[in-house]
Structure 1
């Protein structure tokens, strides 16, 4: 199914959750000099003007990134949140919030000479937009119009000492939950030290629970889970929260993100809250 386009949801609370974690993760990995292969399995467009018709239609950024942007001076003292907002500011044309960068930018903007980034995007229209993004043009970034989960497995093992993967499908198909779990198991078998960040939606149907249990039953160690709820599950239809599952998180990453989201959650809604826990193998 190729109907999903992230432009309708750009900058929403799930993007804040996912990209704040991704920014923190990339920064932590950069502390070591050894080369990293980054892989984004569902890249999207890479850049989203907030004035675009698709984004304006739902305007989800107004209850996502915008409240944080409006309070960026107060949040500047928060180490992770302040740094994330400062990075976001480099993508604006003025003092107003006009653009939201997607995961290709959050991954690609910090690439070093020795690093590599592979972007998968199956949707032909989204892939065309992705090709227009101003990312490294010296061979460090590859764009592939292909299935990201299957493409990731074919890449393994990578040539660099380290591997960092973002997996965030739309989950429009029920089977994607099982496919994500199966892909993670294959990654662990081929690259045991891989760092993998999986995003999943919190929906009333609760299909993510089966995926999480499938991953737990696979015996995969060192998994930390982060869930951000912005609405009560029983109160409304649609996505009420955002989930992340992180394989092999860097040292103190869990504490840093939990502290940051404690500052962020109250800005995202009256009932917003964050919960983090070790899903498997607490160190």
Structure 2
């Protein structure tokens, strides 16, 4: 060291003491930089490690949520009928992982898995990148589906109530006008043709209402369709109590009830179909994630993070 100081002193043309002071100052400065950068590197390493654990834990929560929400949607779909349906909010499961992934951010997660000396793994790197990208693609897809799902399915009950209220009114009118026709024709002087007509019409009624009011509104729909078909094909008795315009308005009231029943059926069918589609999508997404993510992003996951109930 003395020889180096002598050489540097002669080279700089200054005395040994100032030269030694310069060397010490530079050494302390460089050491400070090294220590500072080392502490920063350790801090970044610990941050990346923490983010990796958070991503892995939230992936497990997200994966479990996909299966649970899929099953909840299937249950909700099975309970949706023309009579109504349950409160959709009861079948909505929260998923904290979706918000957590957003807070962590794609950039920070990527750095945690692919930046730093601890992530220098040439083998399987492409697979890990694909798994990582697949995870965030699925998160984005599910978040969008959630945003669409709540207003679509959540509004089912309100829409059903509106249609059912309208249907109750149109059914009341349809039953009244069909009953009025039967009563008025029954008061006519009896004849063989009229008796036969009334008897056949009564059989149509009995087929639907012999055991009381049917629980399925589609049975009522079937009844009204049979009435329309029969009266359209055998309209002669009705022409004795109605002109063509009155006959048209009479059947129009029945068609209005049928239209409301069809609207209710369409709402139920569309809701059930949408529930099934989304349920299948959630389940498929969970299955799609399971193999590649479990293998490439959850390896060496701490045991304490496995239970995410």
TM surpasses 0.5: no
Greater relative contact order (Cα 8 A, min sep 6): structure 1 or 2? 2
Normalised to the residue count of structure 1, the TM-score between the two structures is 0.22
The higher radius of gyration belongs to 2
Which structure shows the bigger proportion of residues in helix conformation? 2
Q: Larger strand proportion, structure 1 or 2?
A: 1
